[in-house]
A and B are shown apart, each in its own frame.
Chain A
Amino acid sequence: MTIDYTIFLISAAVAVFGATMMIMQRNPVASVLYLIVSLVAQAVVYVQLGAIFMGAILIVVYAGAILVLFLFVIMLLNLRANPELSAGMPTLSWFTRTAVPVLLIVELYFVIDRVMLPSAPTGMLGEVEDNFGAVHDVAIKMFTDYLYPMQLTGVLLLVAVVGAVVIARRETAEPRKTAVNPGDKAEKPSNTVAG
């Protein structure tokens, strides 16, 4: 067993563990933390595959920005672990509790079996080009072969942002009446003249 293989096994196990624990938590903050654990482990897998840029971006964008935003929202709404969620839950009969998971697992088996994932190419890591996944190569691909998809994704994100602003704005459509400082009102006319 080589060092690479061991590292892969560990990080893959941690990634799966983090993902599983994430959906099993009642405490939303704990969920986010497990997701971070999973993401960091996934980044390790990416780096091992030579996709260093992907690994770094996974940490910078997902772990560093998006999940911070999640935490921010959770804290702003002050969502604590809710014991009522488990206490007041209607209990399921033992039949439903066992039959549904068994059914799902059997289904999963058949789906995986039917789809027949393509077998991994032989001599996996050795045959990749040296600079595969390096920033330079990713950039070249992004700005030549995949130029239009890239730009369109940008437009899509922009539309999403505008949409979010529109939805957030609707509730406070009326102009705000409160001035931040009492002095603001007095100063306004002179500002408009100057500007």
Chain B
Amino acid sequence: MDSLFNFVYGPMLWVAFIVFIVGSIYKLGSFLIQTRSKEGQILSYMSFKYGLRSLFVWILPFATVNMRKHAIFTFITFLFHISLLLSPILLVSHVMLVDESFNLSWWTLPDLVADIMTIIVVASGLFLLARRLKPGIVKYVTTMVDYAVLLIVILPFVTGFMAYHQILPYKLMIFTHILTGEIMLMAIPFTKLNHMLLGAFTRAYIGSEFGSVRHARDW
């Protein structure tokens, strides 16, 4: 167990971050380079003003017609994404680990808030799962990959929560927490989670088309 733990907390952690960072740079870089070489016209339609306008509207909760149409879904997914992004980065114990190794630290969330955010991620993850299981359009288009991605995202939060509250043997939980966290990081550039990297670009592009060519709103 100890040697396994040392592995996931040692070399594996490096691998995970390198795969995540290099993979993301590769993903974004190849996306942009290929766009330039194969679909250069797209770049010529990109508009700073309208691209940002579109991004701005779409990151504001309830700003678009469709967000208002699905108010509960909007509320939950916004909380989900905010918690998902912020709680790991601003968690006291994560920042302490970084501080110990690199002498770097930043502002952290009170543990209670981080705890609530973790519960939000897991609960809304279950909501998203239920939505996929419910008969209808979402179920119709859902594939195993969609379930897998959801699982990859939720597991680090479940295990982190359990480790913090020492629900099961601490060592085992912290081991699975680190491992599943690493899997999530590595999955970001190479699965649908890459919407974290590319979403802003497709949004800005369509925003540019709607704004400067179509003279219409894209929300």
* B is a partner of A: no
